């Protein structure tokens, strides 16, 4: 009789785990690229230049949905003992969260005007050059 490997915690299908991880990464990168290119296309204009760019908030929501799906896939893979898929999905979700935060920071910078220069109100101040 050969001993069963079911209770030893070893994975039997490491190849399929790696294949599914790579497939999901490619699929998610394509989804994130589609969201990014839709945002770029929304800002692209062949007419006169517009002063107001398209806000990125709606596209960040789409990326957030992708991040939620990545997190769900990571949790599901960890329950099935697919360690490679679970780790790669968690890393993709964290990377997407960083991109979402960077996009929110970018949009906040676009929405918030810079403070007025104090030299415009009192040009004779000693720190103004002129």
- H/E/C letters for each residue in 82-99? CHHHHHHHHHHHHHHHHH
* 93: containing domain: 23-41+54-111
Residue 34 domain-assigned (yes or no): yes
The string of pLDDT tens digits covering residues 23-61 is 999 999 999 999 999 988 888 877 777 777 788 999 999
Residue 97 domain-assigned (yes or no): yes
Residue 128 domain-assigned (yes or no): no
Residue 17 DSSP SS3: helix
DSSP label at residue 112: S
Residue 27 domain-assigned (yes or no): yes
Residue 68 DSSP SS3: helix
Residue 15 domain-assigned (yes or no): no
Residue 101 domain-assigned (yes or no): yes
Specify the number of domains making up the chain: 1
Residue 75 domain-assigned (yes or no): yes
Q: What is the pLDDT of residue 128?
A: 76
% the chain with pLDDT above 90? 58
DSSP label at residue 36: H
CA distances from 97 to 70, 86, 94 (A): 11, 16, 5
pLDDT band at 6 (very low <50, low <70, confident <90, very high): low
pTM value?
Answer: 0.76
Report the alpha-carbon distance of residue 116 to residue 102 in Å, rounded: 25
Give the distance, in angstroms, between the CA of residue 91 and the centroid of all CA atoms in the same chain. 11
């Amino acid at each position: 009789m050969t001993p069963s490997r079911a209770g030893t915690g070893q994975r039997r299908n490491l190849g399929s785990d790696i294949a599914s991880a790579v497939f999901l990464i490619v699929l998610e990168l394509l989804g994130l690229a589609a969201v990014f290119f839709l945002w770029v296309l929304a800002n692209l204009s062949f007419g006169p230049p517009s002063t107001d760019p398209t806000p990125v908030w709606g596209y960040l929501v789409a990326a957030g949905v992708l991040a939620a799906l990545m997190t769900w896939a990571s949790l599901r893979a960890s329950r099935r003992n697919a360690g490679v898929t679970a780790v790669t999905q968690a890393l993709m979700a964290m990377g997407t969260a960083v991109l979402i935060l960077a996009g929110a920071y970018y949009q906040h910078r676009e929405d918030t005007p810079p403070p007025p220069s104090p030299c415009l109100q009192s040009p004779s101040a000693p720190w103004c050059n002129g």
